Amino acid sequence: MDEKLKKAIFDAVANEPYAQRLEMRLVDLDAGYSRVEMTYLPERMDNIYQRTHGGAVYSLIDEAFETACQTHGSVAVALNVNVSYTATPQPGARLYAEAREVTRSRKIAHYDISVTDDTGRLIATAKTVAYRTGKPIPFYDNP
């Protein structure tokens, strides 16, 4: 993967207001691959049942999806995200979302995403589809 593009994506996530709000951090990135982490904070991420809000886990999935999709140097947007929640993390658990590209054509790409906690327990999985616009990434000065 182009190192300049990699740095641009890392910088974009570090400055993204939503990622900052949930304290998400991009930790690894390669062509068609992304790993993002976040700590589950019950006081900010619980639902009405005092369990992890699905939207918090989805947000972590979406950040990994978003960053993995951009690794080829053009804007890609979500067409479909299908999430299966498998477990509730413990308060304070560090959560990791890993997105892996399965297939990619000129216009469509598919990704498998898994969310695990710091013990390796599976929290959620996602099957996703991205539309590849072909437009340049606005925060990346393509050489």
Span 3-136: which CATH code?
3.10.129.10
| SS3 of the chain | CCHHHHHHHHHHHHHCHHHHHCCCEEEEEECCEEEEEEECCHHHHECCCCCECHHHHHHHHHHHHHHHHHHHCEEEEEEEEEEEECCCCCCCCEEEEEEEEEEECCCEEEEEEEEEECCCCEEEEEEEEEEEEEEECCCCCCC
pTM over 0.85: yes
Average pLDDT score over residue span 43-60? 95
Average pLDDT score over residue span 47-67? 96
Express each pLDDT in 101-112 by its tens digit. 999 999 999 999
pLDDT-derived band at 141 (thresholds 50, 70, 90) equals: confident
- Dmax over Cα atoms in the chain, in whole Å? 50
Express each pLDDT in 4-28 by its tens digit. 999 999 999 999 999 999 999 999 9
Q: Residue 142: what pLDDT?
A: 67
pLDDT-derived band at 58 (thresholds 50, 70, 90) equals: very high
Domain ranges of the chain: 3-136
Express each pLDDT in 65-111 by its tens digit. 999 999 999 999 999 999 999 999 999 999 999 999 999 999 999 99
Average pLDDT score over residue span 24-45? 97
Express each pLDDT in 107-139 by its tens digit. 999 999 999 999 999 999 999 999 999 999 999
